[in-house]
Amino acid sequence: MKHKLDRSFVVNVLIFAMLLVSCSPSQPTPSAAAQETTPTVISGSGDISAVVEQYRTLLGADNGVEPGSKGPSGYREINWDGVPDELAAPNFLPADFFNAPEAPRARGAFFSTPGEGIQVSADSDNPTGTARYFTNINPGYIFKTFSEERLFSPLGSNVVDLTFFVPGSNTPATVRGFGAVYTDVDTDHTAFEYFDKDGNSLGSFETPVADSGLSFLGVAFPEPIVYRVQIRYGTAALGPNDSAEADVAVMDNFIYGEPQPLP
């Protein structure tokens, strides 16, 4: 037998269905801010020449060593080999050495560490006869280089903070990304943590393991949002009496996006 539906009943059912749809959680879509902070990660170990070049290409052209901003694209690079003997081991490197107002030191990089200071290893013809590759600290160290022949490390700590400026100035800046060559990474550990201008973490990234060899890790964001990078060198500071459990690592080339002035 057929029943005639009450019109008011039908209307009530439709209203109830509409309320259910309006109250149901919608599928999340990535916000513009989230899309801006989704990085590209390039890494490798062993023969790292190809991945280093891939990261350089991702950032753009080599913008050299002259002061001032060179536009929204490109990169700056530090390989430590131009540091003079008097500012290399056994001496400390000034924190602002690579943010001088003139070439070739106008790179827009400033370093800090909770340890004693930062140091670049001695080269083969230094006047003090200091041993190379940080073996003046511990003769048992075996560190390879990517670009001959100096390396870089903090002393008294395994942490360095890198902040950016418009090259050759005191104008704070941000970059698209930062990458670097590690030597002798024995264990998994956080290599880099990136922060924006407000101190918010943009993520932590681990470097590949390469016992007694070379590793590379480079991270690049779609926009220049990186104000500071915290870099961890192994699990312990360099020292003459490292324990068997300690992983000590040092670094060679630094590559980072062209510093852009903060608005």
Asked if the structure places residue 19 within a domain, the reply is no
Token pair 């490109």 is found at 74
pLDDT, one tens digit per residue, over 103-146 is 999 999 999 999 999 999 999 999 999 999 999 999 999 999 99
Of 31-40, 124-133, 155-164, least confident by mean pLDDT is 31-40
**What predicted TM-score, i.e. pTM, was given to this entire model?**
0.85
Compute the C-alpha angle 46/205/242, nearest 5°. 65
Asked, for residue 223, whether it belongs to a domain, the answer is yes
Say yes or no to pLDDT of 21 above 90.
no
* Structural domain that includes position 68: 33-261
pLDDT at 26 over 70: no
Higher pLDDT, residue 234 or 172: 172
In a domain, 5, yes or no: no
Residue 12 lies in a domain: no
Least confident of 114-123, 181-190, 192-201: 181-190
Residue 113 domain-assigned?
Answer: yes
pLDDT value of position 65? 97
- Domain-embedded: residue 153: yes
What domain count does the chain have? 1
Q: Please give the angle made by the CA atoms of 216, 219 and 224, to the nearest 5 degrees.
A: 145
Residue 195 CA to residue 175 CA, distance in Å, equals 11
62, part of any domain: yes
What percentage of the chain exceeds 90 in pLDDT? 78
Within a domain: residue 27?
no
Mean pLDDT, rounded, for 219-231:
98
